[in-house]
Amino acid sequence: MMPQQVKVSDITDENSAQTYLDQMVMSTFCRVLDTSRLPPVVVMRLIASALGSAYREVAAAHLDGQCPCGWCPVPALDIEALRSSLEDAAAPKRVDDLVTMLVAGRA
């Protein structure tokens, strides 16, 4: 069963924002992959580069402390957190559900 699509107007918390962004990134990835015929890893690298550029622009806009949101960028820590998030999300997930585990032998 396909997860229900989330619209911008449906974003109310971090979970719905994550679902929306997941959908938008996958949709964009597939469109670029299909139209460009570039290898998937090249398109993924381009998406990562776009995220880095977005971070740089947003961080630069917050350096003077004039934004009412109160975020103060710390590039070294922020970039490490972004790198860690990418690594966590991209790494294979361990399945601990007995129903979906492959049988390894007999007891």
- Asked whether residue 102 is assigned to any structural domain, the reply reads no
In a domain, 25, yes or no: yes
**Domain housing 49:** 8-89
The answer as to whether 106 is a domain residue is no
Query: Which of the pair, 2 or 8, is modelled with greater confidence?
Result: 8
> For residue 69, what are the contacts with CB-CB under 8 A and spacing of at least 6?
62
Residue 58 covered by a domain: yes
Q: Considering the chain, what is the average pLDDT of its residues?
A: 89
Enter the pTM of the model.
0.76
Angle between helices 14-36 and 40-62 (to 10 degrees): 130
CB 56 within 8 A of CB 49: no
State the pLDDT confidence band at 29, using cuts at 50, 70 and 90. very high
Q: How many domains does the chain have?
A: 1
Report if residue 19 sits inside a domain.
Answer: yes
pLDDT for 59 beyond 80: yes
56 has pLDDT over 70:
yes
Predicted pLDDT of residue 6: 79
Question: When comparing pLDDT for 94 and 107, which is higher?
Answer: 94
The answer to whether residue 14 scores a pLDDT higher than 90 is yes
